[in-house]
Structure 1
Amino acid sequence: MAVESTLELGNNDERMKSDENLLISERSAVEDDDTTKGKVIESVEMTFKDIEIRSWNEQLTIRAFVVSVVLGVMFSFIVMKLSLTTGIIPSLNVAAGLLGFFFVKTWTKVLEQCGMLKHPFTRQENTVIQTCVVATSGIAFSGGFGSYLFGMSDVVASQTSDSDSPTRYMNIKNPSLGWIIGFLFVVSFIGLCSVVPLRKIMIIDFKLIYPSGTATAHLINSFHTSKGAKLAKQQVKALGKFFSFSFLWSFFQWFFVSDESECGFQNFPTFGLKAKENMFYFDFSTMYVGVGMICPYIINVSLLFGMILSWGIMWPLIEKKEGHWFEAGLKPGSFHGIQGYRVFTAIAIILGDGLYNFVKVLGNTGVGLYGQLKAKKSDTVLPVATNGENQENVQATSFDDQRRKQMFIKDQIPTWLAVGGYLAIAAIATVTLPHIFHPLEWYYVVIIYIFAPALAFCNAYGCGLTDWSLASTYGKLAIFVIGAWAGKSQGGVLAGLAACGVMMNIVSTASDLMSDFKTGYLTLASPRSMFVSQVIGTAMGCVIAPCVFWVFYSAFPNLGQQDSEYPAPYATVYRNLAILGVEGFGALPKNCLNICYGLFAAAIFINVVRDTVPKKWGRFIPIPMAIAIPFYIQQPFAIDMCVGSLILFIWEKRNKAKADAFGPAVASGLICGEGLWSVPKSVLALTKVNPPICMRFFARGANLKVDDFLKTLSR
């Protein structure tokens, strides 16, 4: 699952920390360091040696896809809500694995008691469910509903720096269910074909780790042991308990929000009214408390630091320059005023951080690839020790490796199918995309598809080394290249955003698929079943995600507005990136460019320091990408996430083992509960049912005036 820059932080840079905490047993001996020498490592596959492994087509069961559809819809609502609010999307792999295991295990137990069970639930089937669910809900992110795709709309364009441009309407494409579904079907599958021929090289020959895929595999393996199944049952119980609490709490809060933006618990002035004006308050969002429990501490601290730097220091100082740095009396949200500083300074930090990590990961990829090609051959085996001290480790490792290689190579995916599929989809896209986006000429699409396989390989390889996906960085690169090539007068903004979508989907799905292959390799799931489940999950997502988005779009007329419940902040950022690509820096307010230069350099400098100082100190240095997020998002989510971190920190101090085992499940329950409340809330909004009460907070003096006014009305 990969994401906007924020998601890369939450899901790729330590994103599977929570999954790894759940690994209660079975460790594969794939490392030879000081911590494993002299210890007997239990063979994972020896535990499952008496369990029959069904053929690849038998791993694709009807019950697996029924459960995948249900969970896919549920997680699509969660991801969509997060995309349209802050863009911070944590890993939902724990919840997907737990709920998939629970639903099918319950299903099989009922059938077994009725004497109707034909096939038991296996870890291969569990892997198919996990892959399908993540692929389905992943489209809710990579589809760009909170970023590039919605950034094409008139709603977002009216709030950006080209709102008064005479060529504005050439650069607008308003959402419509038909063209969105068609666009996703055209661009979402080609990435799957781009790296399939390299699966053996990446997984077996290069032995890339893919930390997320490896952690997910260990999680699934542990579920299917007696001890793991018992713990999974307890984790599901904890998830269900906090899911219910979160859902009911969200329902209770709904009664107090009326139709006013300042109503409800989410506007509670926790630290005072003045602090609330500068976004420092706790809004009682259980979803973001849960997100904070999953994200690493440094991300939440970085968010808080960014919030203090921007809303606590920079914006109050710049607001005092009204009339000097920007015109006085501008309408709220004008990009010639304070909003321009908020967005473009954030973009400067995002670009600085993105450029640094792009060069860093690409460099590591090149060095690593050169070393492996030089030092290894395709038939190289893992070096094994022969001394008596480690003989049992060697036997366990060798058995696991041999068993996994045997199953991974057994069911081949024909290379001709992948190459033919890539060429066929590329040809269809070259013809259809210019009809969907008129400024996107056919030769732009051809150029993208010529370079895409190489970029997809780089992203998949880099993700295998570091678990860091640069999908959004490649997308931003496409925005600048294609947008500048087209030119603003020829619809360059729209062309750049469309190109971003094409590129992001290719490189993102490529790394996701290779990570799934790693999961399948470690759970003995057939590569064919992995590929087919990814294709089916992607197809489901191409329908489910647009329908979910359309529910939000229809239920909330102010969707995308700066001060609304769903402001879609990244849509504004992506559109302004496209404007910068075709216009240059002419759209920036006075002195904004100098501030941007400073923050761009600061982002690179902070990253350099993080990577050069000793690790024990580097882990305390904030992450620039996370610092940038609060700059332009007018919500107190950083406070919520820090509350989540505080809860987890105290829990770990009191009982670390229990916190490690149940923390991710509790966090997932909090996220899923509030996220799923979006469904009935949207239905109520569509049926014009409004909350009956508006709970607002006033200063003492203002409250007395309100009381006096109400008394005059009652006379």
Structure 2
Amino acid sequence: MEIFNDLQEDISTEHAFEAEPVPSLSETITPRSLVFSFIIGATLSVVAMKVTLSSGFILSLSIPAGLLGFYVSRAWIRILDYFAVSHLPFTRQENTIIQTCVVACTSVTFTGGFGTYILAMSKKAAGGDVKDDNNIEEPSIAKMITFLFLISFAGMFIIMPFRKIMIIRHRLTYPSGTATAHLINSFHTPQGVKQARNQVTLLFKSFGGTMAWSFFQWFFASGPGCGFKFFPTFGLEAYKHGFFFDFSMANVGIGMMCPYMIVFSMLIGSIISWCMIWPYIQTKEGIWYPSNLGPDSLSGIRGYKVLIGLSMILADCLFVFLSIMVRTACAMVKRRQQASHGVGGGGGGCNMQQPFQCLDATDRPARSFDDRRRAQVFLRDEIPNSVAIGCYVLLSVVSIVAIPLLYPQLRYHHVALIYLAAPIFAFCNAYGCGVTDINLGSTYCKIAMLVFGSWIGVKGGGVIAALVAGGIMVSILGTAADLTQDLKTGYLTLTSPRAVFISEVIGMTLGCIINPTVFWAFYKMNPSAAGGDMSDTPYAKLYRGFAMLSVGEEGLPGHSMFLCKLFFALAMALSAVREVANRKQWRVRRYIPSTIGMAVAFIMPPRMPVGMAVGSLVAYLWEKADAARGRMLSPAMASGFICGDGLGSLLLSTLTLVHATAPICIKFLARGDNDRLDAFLATLPAT
């Protein structure tokens, strides 16, 4: 929270930049900023794709995007200075454009559904639970690119008419956008330049080390079950239950970035599910469910994992959704009352605890110099509301005609209904995100899946229709919330909203081409990295299971619905207790696990939470030893781990494509198995 405390200081940010003129649109969106955006966006898209496919996590890449944009641009300027080539100075507005463009490009990995609804349509995700091909859609790169271009831009246009209401009139905080703006502003001060240099140096060191480690591991993984990835860290018995450290540096990096409570909750959830619940249910094989089913069948053990985890996620989403709706309504009523009485707003009484971050740092009785200057720049370059609404209508018409041609399971009137309802939900989601910093696009996605899946039914291809409808909704709503966050960043860095919007469009365009290509590379070169082993894509299983529930698909294992209701009630109670504890400031609040963290662990293999716990432990010990350097440098090191692991996976996929095989297989066996292996090898003739 130090970032937001800094923002409340009396020192004026804009006084420090008062001598610098505000650049024009052509000086903000420059060729060099677009080139750097493409390079960094393509690199981080590989990283985001690897993380999304392997763990389902949605990482914010604002920190590495801002760091790399600043560092690469400064390095380019030094090169030009060395050769005495004239150039314009690198400004914070250009840094904002690069960051916006890169984040827009990488966000398509989530809104595009590569680890969720796209993969959930595939035959591998369906397992043996599909009776006809009408509920199967194998990934196709041409279809994915076309679909993304149809759905990815509407959310930007529909939210633009509300930008003044949210940022100028209601002065919503948008904590992530505010934090990013603070980071960019600090980069362009003398102290910030030194700090950024240290962060980027560490980022590249961890990046290079992780790449080298990934390549080193490959030499010992010549077959199934070979390599350090299968090292039984806590013994063979724990290994059988999935508890071991697989040396995945991406999981370590994620753990360094995640809050400690989330990682702790995931460990608790893994222990409860993989050590207690699933072993008990496996003893009921042949009683509760048939014993001849494969591991991918929803009628078997996988059905319990998906349905119980899904019920807990829905309970948490429902609780958060209702709480945010109430909170948002109260905030709007309060501001209306203050406006009618001529009061500027005090912003007191906000609870700073998760998951409801209400940081009313911008609610001040009088408008400061910073506010006046920022509002002047924000209102100077406008996109007419008529143009934005007209573009949304045009995109809607094109999608209504084209999407049913790509996915015939969803008819024209279904798509039309989605685009009619989307503006209302987009405003609610963007407003709630400004108050709470929580993007509920995935929650609205599940609502859309439930509505359209039950409407169309399994015989009409309702599983695919539900997934496509959810994809349209999450793309529109997610893009709208992301743009408002970026507009807030632009507002605080004196970047023209028109420039922010254009850079968002450019970044989204790049993302609609780069991300399907990256996904296809993973999917074809190394199937295990993109769905060949569905245990590594937990959210694809969740989305498939929810779509099948929405159409009323039969064949679920025995007692599964009872267990779903039980765990739904338990999750709802846990969410309520956690919120009350935060409100009342109970001491025990720090030890109440997160519902969503536990729910994901019910599906995710335990090795992922174990790797994340290692990362959290590293970050914790680092902050204990040196709090200032730990907080400043740990995000950079984590970013290097994640980037290096992602690009290392792409390198190994390329080796698979050229049919390169590792020379060595290293395996870990029990003593008895090793004795039997030695005895067998002794019977073979000597070579």
Equivalent of 2:168, from 179, 199, 204?
204
Pairwise CA distance, 1:27: 3.9
Q: Tell me the percent identity.
A: 44
Q: CA deviation at 1:382?
A: 6.9
Structure 1 position 518 matched with structure 2 position 488 = yes
Q: Does 1:488 align with 2:451?
A: no
Cα distance, 1:304–1:355 mapped onto 2, change above 3 Å: same
Q: What is the aligned partner in structure 2 of residue 599 from structure 1? A: 567
Task: Give the counterpart letter for 1:287 in structure 2.
Answer: A
Q: Which residue of 2 aligns with 1:46?
A: 15
**1:384-403 to 2 correspondences below 5 Å:** 398-403=368-373
Task: Report if aligned partners of 1:607, 1:623 keep a CA contact under 8 Å in 2.
Answer: yes
1:144 paired residue among 84, 109, 113: 113
Change (3 A) 1:378 1:693: farther
Match of residue 359 from structure 2: none
SS of structure 1 residue aligned to 2:217: helix
Structure 1 contact 344–588 (Cα < 8 Å) conserved: no
Note the C-alpha offset of 1:90: 2.5
- Structure 2 distance, partners of 1:410, 1:477, is 39
Deviations 1:318-339 (A, max 9, x none): 1122222222243333322212
Quote the residue 1:686 is aligned against. Answer: 657
Separation in structure 2 between the aligned mates of residue 109 and residue 147 of structure 1, nearest angstrom: 43
Bigger mean CA offset, 89-98 vs 425-434: 89-98
Q: Which amino acid aligns with 2:658?
A: T
CA distance in 2, matches of 1:330, 1:62: 57
Equivalent residue in structure 1 for 2:141, among 177, 185, 194 = 177
| Alignment partners' CA distance in 2, 1:115 and 1:635 | 55
1:237 aligns to 2:201 (yes or no):
yes
Structure 2 CA distance for partners of 1:64 and 1:185, relative to 1, 3 Å? same
Query: Would you say 1:695 and 2:666 are equivalent positions?
Result: yes
The aligned counterpart of 2:82 is: 113
Any conservation in 1 of the 2:127–2:296 contact (CA below 8 Å)?
A: no
Answering whether residue 291 of structure 2 is matched by residue 328 of structure 1, we say: yes
Amino acid at match of 2:76: W
Q: Which of 227, 231, 249 matches 1:264?
A: 227
Cα distance between partner residues in 1 of 2:386 and 2:476: 19
Alpha-carbon distance, 1:93 to partner: 1.3
Q: 2:684 and 2:384 mapped to 1: Cα distance? A: 78
Partners of 1:28 and 1:594 in 2: how far apart? 49
What displacement does 1:405 show?
Answer: 0.7
- Counterpart position of 1:11: none
TM-score normalised according to structure 1 size: 0.90
Which amino acid is the alignment partner of residue 568 of structure 2? Answer: F
SS in 2 for 1:145: coil
Structure 1 residues 608 and 181: CA distance shift in structure 2, 3 A: same
Aligned residues of 1:132 and 1:534 also touching (Cα < 8 A):
yes
Aligned counterparts of 1:394 and 1:194: Cα–Cα separation in 2: 29
Are 1:96 and 2:59 counterparts? no
Deviations 1:510-556 (A, max 9, x none): 00000000000000000000000000000000000000001011102
- Runs of 4+ in structure 1 over 3 Å off: 26-29, 377-384, 393-397, 557-564
In the alignment, the residues of structure 1 paired with residue 205 and residue 74 of structure 2 have an alpha-carbon distance, to the nearest angstrom, of 19
Alignment counterpart, residue 338 of structure 1, candidates 301, 308, 322: 301
- In 2, Cα distance between equivalents of 1:461 and 1:377: 20
Aligned to 1:420, which of 379, 385, 390? 390
TM-score (normalizing by structure 2): 0.94
RMSD: 2.0
> What is the Cα deviation at residue 561 of structure 1?
5.0
Over 3 Å counting, the alpha-carbon distance change for 1:530 and 1:380 in structure 2 is farther
Residue 476 (structure 1) aligns with: 446
Matched residue, 1:4? none
Whichever residue aligns with residue 587 of structure 1, its letter is G
DSSP 3-state at the match of 1:149: helix
Contact 2:344 2:365 in 1 (8 A): no
How far apart are 1:397 and its partner, in Å?
Answer: 6.5
Pair 246,396 (structure 1): closer, same or farther in 2 beyond 3 Å: farther
1:301 is aligned to 264
Distance 1:327 1:681 in 2: 39
Q: Are the counterparts in 2 of residues 27 and 42 from structure 1 also a CA contact under 8 Å?
A: no
Tell me if the contact between 1:353 and 1:624 (Cα under 8 Å) persists in the aligned partners.
yes
Structure 2: distance between partners of 1:454 and 1:125: 33
Query: How far apart, in 1, do the equivalents of 2:685 and 2:235 lie?
Result: 31
- Structure 1 residue runs of 5 or longer lacking an equivalent are 1-16, 30-35, 385-392
Mapped partners of 1:362, 1:288: distance in 2: 33
CA deviations 1:445-493 (Å, max 9, x no partner) are 1111111001001110111011001111111111110111111111111
Distance of 1:635 and 1:284 partners within structure 2: 13
Q: 1:394 to 1:470 in 2, by over 3 A?
A: closer
* Counterparts in 2 of 1:568 and 1:383: CA distance versus 1, 3 Å: closer
Q: 1:46 to 1:335 in 2, by over 3 A?
A: same
2:678 to 703, 707, 713: 707
Does structure 1 residue 452 correspond to structure 2 residue 422?
yes
User: Partner of 1:634 in structure 2?
Assistant: 605
Quote how far apart the aligned CAs of 1:378 are: 12
Give the structure 1 partner of residue 352 of structure 2. none
Cα 1:245/1:329, change in 2 over 3 Å: same
Question: Which whole-Å CA distance do the structure 2 matches of 1:296 and 1:27 have between them?
Answer: 21
Establish whether residue 621 from structure 1 lines up as the match of residue 584 from structure 2: no
Equivalent residue number for residue 362 of structure 1? 325
Structure 2 residue identity aligned to 1:52? P
- The structural deviation recorded for 1:221 is 0.2
Structure 2 counterpart of 1:123, one-letter code: R
Number of matched residues?
Answer: 668
Distance 1:456 1:431, change over 3 A: same
Equivalent pair of 1:28/1:397 in contact (CA under 8 Å) = no
Do 2:409 and 2:464's aligned partners in 1 also have CA atoms closer than 8 Å?
yes
**Partner of residue 14, structure 1:** none
Which residue of 505, 510, 521 corresponds with 2:475? 505
* Cα distance between partner residues in 1 of 2:413 and 2:147: 17
Counterpart mapping for 1:263-302 below 5 A: 263-302=226-265
- Matching residue's letter, 1:326: Y
Which amino acid is the alignment partner of residue 372 of structure 1? Answer: R
Give the 3 Å change call, closer, same or farther, for CA 478–395 of structure 1 in structure 2.
closer
Map 1:581-596 → 2, pairs under 5 A: 581-583=550-552, 586-596=554-564
Task: Classify 1:654/1:154 alpha carbon distance in 2 versus 1 (closer, same or farther; 3 Å).
Answer: same
- Take 2:365 and 2:170, find their aligned partners in 1: how far apart are those partners? 21
Q: 1:396 to 1:448 in 2, by over 3 A?
A: closer
- Is the contact made by 1:358 and 1:470 (CA closer than 8 Å) also made in structure 2? yes
Pick from 518, 527, 532: which aligns with 2:502? 532
Go from structure 1 to structure 2 and tell me whether the alpha carbon gap of 1:397 and 1:117 turns closer, same or farther (over 3 Å shift): farther
When residues 156 and 681 of structure 1 are mapped into structure 2, their CA distance, relative to the original with a 3 A threshold, is same
